[in-house]
Structure 1
Amino acid sequence: MNVQIRTVHFDADSKLLEHVNAKIEKLRTFHDKIISAEVYLKLDNFSQQVRDKVAEIKVYVPKHSYFVKHQSKTFEQSFDLAFDSLVNQVKRQKEKHLVH
């Protein structure tokens, strides 16, 4: 699986990157045919004083792709919420596929 992590308007520290990589690797337990994953970590509302942390995850599998986006006050929390939503999407899609 090819994993790309991109940061927008900031430089991520190694702890955050390790957290993201560890979680993304866990996706293999939910879907065994993942081609690639892209993670975008962004600072939102950049022109204002309040900066929300946004995490977007795109995952590509044969004939399908998944996308989730969450924002909160920390990158870890945003990424974890997005990851949980992604896992739910993957599980739902896999169950639909097994039923048919």
Structure 2
Amino acid sequence: MNIQIQSVKFDADQKLIDFVQHKVGKLDRKVDNTTGAEVTLKLDKDDTAGNKVVMLRLAVPGHELVAERRSKSFEESVDLCVDAIKRQIERYKEK
């Protein structure tokens, strides 16, 4: 699966990029024919619920599954997005 990672307002280190690729890469096992994934990592000014925002878009045939989560760390936000996409994949498979 082709995974594109974009960091906004900061430079992501290699450890974070590897973590994202590992977690998002596992989604390929859940659904067949994924055409790619886009991950946007963004630092936000508002720090009430955490300033690390992750948006994950997974392209599957005929659909685009999207999740956006905010938390205190990028790793936690990525985990939350992956869990949300897994639930969306289950609903997608039921159709």
Deviation at 1:42, TM superposition (A): 0.2
The aligned residue for residue 35 of structure 2 is 35
State the secondary structure of the residue aligned to 1:21.
helix
The aligned residue for residue 8 of structure 1 is 8
Deviation at 1:23, TM superposition (A): 0.9
Report the TM-score when normalising by structure 1: 0.87
- Superposition map of 1:1-100 within 5 A: 1-45=1-45, 50=47, 52-95=51-94, 97=95
Which runs of 5 or more residues in structure 2 are unaligned?
A: none
Which runs of 5 or more residues in structure 1 are unaligned?
A: none
Moved >3 Å (runs of 4+) = none
Cα separation, 2, equivalents of 1:22 and 1:88: 19
Cα separation, 2, equivalents of 1:22 and 1:7: 17
Cα separation, 2, equivalents of 1:65 and 1:27: 14
Deviation at 1:91, TM superposition (A): 1.2
Percent identical: 43
* Aligned residues: CA RMSD: 1.2
Cα separation, 2, equivalents of 1:62 and 1:52: 32
Report the TM-score when normalising by structure 2: 0.92
Cα separation, 1, equivalents of 2:28 and 2:77: 21
Render the CA deviation track for 1:49-81: whole Å, top value 9, x for unaligned: x46000000011111110000000100001110
Structure whose CA Rg is larger: 1
